[in-house]
Amino acid sequence: MTTHTVNTALTSAPALEITDAVLELGDGDGRVRALDSVSLRVQPGEFVAVVGPSGSGKSSLLAIAGALGKPDSGSVRVHGTDLASLNRAAAARFRLRNIGFVFQSGNLIPALGAADQLRLAARLAGNRTAEPEALLAELGMAHRAGHRPRQLSGGERQRVGIARALVNNPSLLLVDEPTAALDRDRSQEVVAILAERAKRSAVAVVMVTHDRDVLGHCDRVLEMVDGQLSELAAATAGSH
């Protein structure tokens, strides 16, 4: 089986490199240019936020970066691998090993305890060296390793979701509205964890958010408007 794990000879490659991506969705009069010549380069350890109005193309950006969809034109490379070179099955394997996803409310499996959520993600990726308990401990969740999602607070669920996304040591973490279900303090904690993990694990993090209060944790803030991506001025992005 081809594993498509990241080639260590390419460690100097950007974790994510999107070049001139165009994506059109829908048919006929409803056809929309969801991504309009989008280019984005994110280095290992860099934490990038993407803000922008509803319907501007943020989810489409995460989808092509995560090998969940292909742009109509342009290219997407994750740590040097051109995602267009992977067939469906290879893309699924590549995604499991190299890309982590964090969703709004954790998206955990109700019947599994926290450590088992991580174990399952590791097993699906064929990863025998994962250390679920150690990772949970690093995220302050050692005392909750056996708890199921309904026994956890919103912030704790999100920590487990982040740990699960990191369990296979991805080079790229794609995060969609991680604070949508959290209060202000928990939101700060969760985004601070993402910032810390980006630096510590040299994982590139791309986070879509509507929450301007957390932008100070990010290295760069980009804005998506009508499918076009641009850098937001540092002063607007806030400081931390």
Ligand X SMILES: Nc1ncnc2c1ncn2[C@@H]1O[C@H](COP(=O)(O)OP(=O)(O)OP(=O)(O)O)[C@@H](O)[C@H]1O
58-97 footprint of ligand X as x/- string (CB under 6 A):
xxx-------------------------------------
Q: How many residues does the chain have?
A: 240
Asked whether position 29 contacts ligand X by CB under 6 A, the answer is no
Report d(CA 15, CA 173) in Å as an integer: 10
Q: E strands within the chain?
A: 16-25, 32-42, 47-51, 73-78, 81-82, 99-102, 172-176, 204-208, 220-225, 228-231
Cβ closest to ligand X, residue 57 vs residue 66 = 57
CB closer to ligand X out of 60 and 158: 60
32 binds ligand X (CB under 6 A): yes
* Burial environment of residue 147 by CB neighbours within 10 A (0 to 12, 13 to 18, 19 or more): middle
Residues 45-64 that bind ligand X (CB under 6 A): 52, 54-60
Query: Residue 26 or 140: which CB sits closer to ligand X?
Result: 26
Secondary structure (3-state) at 75: strand
Nearest distance in Å: CB 240, ligand X:
24
Binding site for ligand X (CB under 6 A): 25-26, 32, 34, 52, 54-60
